[in-house]
Amino acid sequence: MNNNDLAIIRPENIQTIVQAAPQSYNDNKNSHDRCIDFGLTILNAVRTQGMNDELDQQAAAFIDKARRTLKVMNERRSPVTKLFDEVRSAFTTMENEIDPSKPGTVAYDLQQFRNQYAAKKRAEEERRLREEMERRQAEEARRKFRMDVEDDFKRKFQDYVNTMLNQITQIDNDVTLENYDNSLAELHKIKAEVDKGLSAEWMGSLHTSLRIPLGVKVADIENELKHTLYKQFNDQFVAEVCDTVNYTIDRMPSKKANLERIAQANAEEAARMKAEMEARQRAEAERAEKERAEREAEEKRKAELERKTAEMTSLFDGQAAASTYQPKTKVTKRISLLNPEGIMPVISLWWSKEGCTLSVDELAKMFKKQIAFCEKLANKDEIFIQNESVEYVDEVKAK
């Protein structure tokens, strides 16, 4: 509180208010009552008799006297009310100087800095969340693409294995006494190749035919998978192709003996023996196919389980890391007009949601300034609104 404020609330000023206020009030109350009583006499006469020249002159004289009385009453109470106003101002000044809503106060200035800091922190957090989301999406796209490429490589490998197995099976099915030696030589040639294991050259030539997502380095994923899958593929290649060719070669002598017996037997016996041999071959083929189907089903089950596990891990890992301190904020949308034309859609939206529900009096009060401007145009420049919802009426005032 400054020295001027202390002067205002000095005891003598307070005493002045206490002593002068009742007398000023009583004097003004008497002036007020006499003025109203005199005016009511004229007003009642007008209401009873109707306005005439004499009453109009009396009314004019009364109104002029009421103005003079008002001036005297104002001058009489002015010293008292001025002190009241100064005392009130002293109190409100102190309050205003610490009011956070008043521009220029320490609290207001601090609030502005807090608002700016909160906006900065919010922008940083939004950017961090956006970058985290983009990173997660990129990781998820890469993870999913990697799994798809892995499935694609496994399909291509299984096709390769099936081709080798079909080749061995076809040689075995086509064996006759006449081509036995050539068939056995072909099987040994295949064995010599497959005994080396899965060809690194074949593995190196493996490439996906899937659509590559934007931003994913397919070469890195392919090389990673080739390195990861080679042992699995090689073990399966040995277990299926090598075992099959070895088993087929081991059976070749007995198959030759069966073919020789069939060739020496009569037609009926040869047909029976051939049917039995073919039945054994079918049974063996069905057994091998069943084992192959079971292995594929198990591989598919494992792959699906790995995919689901990876998806669940991605969901848990997807939670953004806890951010640093964030001030409490309240975010409110504010309209910023980019040009004067921007006010029209604002008024249009307001009218459609609220304005159309208001009464004429409410709208007239709300748009008092705009209505006054249009009235000024009508009185000064004779510019009128041409609309069926608007009319101009003459307001007559006695001077």
Q: Total domain count for the chain?
A: 2
Same domain? For 160 and 294 the reply is: yes
Q: Is residue 306 part of a domain?
A: yes
- Listed residues 317, 347, 374: the one ending a domain: 317
Q: Is residue 340 part of a domain?
A: no
Task: Name the range with the highest mean pLDDT among 40-49, 240-249, 267-276.
Answer: 40-49
Two structure tokens written together for 319:
């939670």
Which has more pLDDT, 275 or 363?
363
Alpha-carbon distance of 221 to 96, in angstroms, equals 67
Residue 240 burial by CB count (10 A; 0-12/13-18/19+): exposed, middle or buried? buried
> With the CA atoms of 98, 103, 106 and 112 taken in that order, what torsion angle do they form, in degrees rounded to the nearest 10?
130
- Listed residues 96, 126, 154: the one ending a domain: 96
Same domain? For 92 and 147 the reply is: no
Centroid of chain to Cα 202: 47
> With the CA atoms of 80, 83, 84 and 89 taken in that order, what torsion angle do they form, in degrees rounded to the nearest 10?
160
Same domain? For 180 and 312 the reply is: yes
Same domain? For 40 and 170 the reply is: no
φ and ψ at residue 274, rounded to 5 degrees: -65, -40
Q: Report the phi/psi class of residue 133: left, alpha or beta, with left for phi > 0 and alpha for psi in -120 to 50.
A: alpha
Q: Which of 287, 177, 304 is nearest to 243 (CA)?
A: 287
Full-model pTM: 0.54
Same domain? For 89 and 215 the reply is: no
pLDDT of residue 88: 83
Show the domain range for 278: 141-317
Could you write out the three-class secondary structure of 76-127?
Answer: HHHHHHHHHHHHHHHHHHHHHCCCCCCCCCHHHHHHHHHHHHHHHHHHHHHH
Alpha-carbon distance of 249 to 247, in angstroms, equals 6
Residue 378 near residue 392 (C-beta atoms within 8 A)? yes
Same domain? For 147 and 209 the reply is: yes
Q: Is residue 377 part of a domain?
A: no
Same domain? For 238 and 152 the reply is: yes
Alpha-carbon distance of 12 to 135, in angstroms, equals 75
Q: Is residue 378 part of a domain?
A: no
Q: Is residue 375 part of a domain?
A: no
Coil, helix or strand at residue 322 = coil
Same domain? For 85 and 160 the reply is: no
pLDDT band (50, 70, 90) for residue 280: confident
pLDDT band (50, 70, 90) for residue 362: very high
Q: Is residue 164 part of a domain?
A: yes
Same domain? For 183 and 92 the reply is: no
Using alpha carbons only, how large is the chain's radius of gyration in Å?
52
Same domain? For 176 and 299 the reply is: yes
Same domain? For 41 and 147 the reply is: no
- Listed residues 269, 301, 317: the one ending a domain: 317
pLDDT at 318 over 80: no
Two structure tokens written together for 105:
């106060």
Q: Is residue 85 part of a domain?
A: yes
Q: Is residue 357 part of a domain?
A: no
pLDDT band (50, 70, 90) for residue 39: very high
Same domain? For 183 and 281 the reply is: yes
pLDDT band (50, 70, 90) for residue 46: very high
pLDDT of residue 375: 94
